[in-house]
Amino acid sequence: MTIIIASLLLGGATIAANAQDKNAKGTDKEAALRSQPGYVDFSMLDKMGQDAKVEVNLRDPMLGLVGKFISDEDEELRDLISSLKLVRVRVYEITPTTVERLLAAGSETATRLDKDGWERIVRVRDGEEHVDVYFKPSSNAEWIEGVLVIALGDDNEAAFVNIVGTIRPEDVAKLGEHFDVNGMDKVHIEKKIKN
């Protein structure tokens, strides 16, 4: 009986240690993502007082898998998606009671991004449509480390999209088209050839 109890305790301790180890690895991965220069903390969206209508979280290994499903004819897009670290999307329904909170969350985010070295490259104000696209340039301005899109549409939806990774400026529109991100698909940056 003592051997059975000791075995159960040892087995339980092993299971608990493995669970803690897996949890720590998950926490380490999350911390690594949060430390990326292109990562935007979406915690300000908690102030919305409602759950997101759509929530997408594609991380590094899954993005590589998504890249494998892209046709061989678009090898460039496949390589681009496989090189990303994170794609996050949150879509909220806009109601008369949430519109002010959405605008406040967007404004709070814009202020924080400005302080953190992000550049707003697109600003659209057309009737009820509000779109802002931000880039986080690398320190040497050779590539983009993150993209953030904040879009409040006349379709009573607000979308927040954060793409993290090493992105060539000329690939931004391609990403926008592939992920159907309002505003990003219109950003066309041509690479200048240095002499």
**Mind listing the pLDDT tens digit for each residue in 113-143?**
999 999 999 899 898 888 899 999 999 988 9
pTM: 0.75
Answer yes or no: are the C-beta atoms of 109 and 59 closer than 8 Å. no
Q: Indicate if 49 and 16 belong to the same structural domain.
A: no
Domains: count for the chain: 2
Q: Indicate if 16 and 86 belong to the same structural domain.
A: no
Sheet with strand 157-167: strands edge to edge: 54-59, 84-93, 157-167, 144-152, 129-137, 119-126
Q: Indicate if 90 and 133 belong to the same structural domain.
A: yes
Q: For residue 194, tell me if it sits in a domain.
A: no
Closest CA to 39 of 174, 159, 147, 160: 147
Q: For residue 193, tell me if it sits in a domain.
A: no
Question: 21 lies in which domain range?
Answer: 1-35
Q: Indicate if 145 and 179 belong to the same structural domain.
A: yes
* Largest CA-CA distance found in the chain, in angstroms, rounded: 82
**Mind listing the pLDDT tens digit for each residue in 7-54?**
333 333 333 334 444 444 557 888 999 999 999 998 888 777 788 999
Q: Indicate if 134 and 57 belong to the same structural domain.
A: yes
Q: Indicate if 31 and 51 belong to the same structural domain.
A: no
Residue 2 has pLDDT above 70, yes or no: no
- For 36, 123, 131, 137, 161, the CA distances from 120, given in Å and listed in that order, are 19, 7, 11, 11, 14
- For 54, 133, 155, the CA distances from 105, given in Å and listed in that order, are 17, 15, 19
Q: Indicate if 172 and 82 belong to the same structural domain.
A: yes
pLDDT of 36: 94
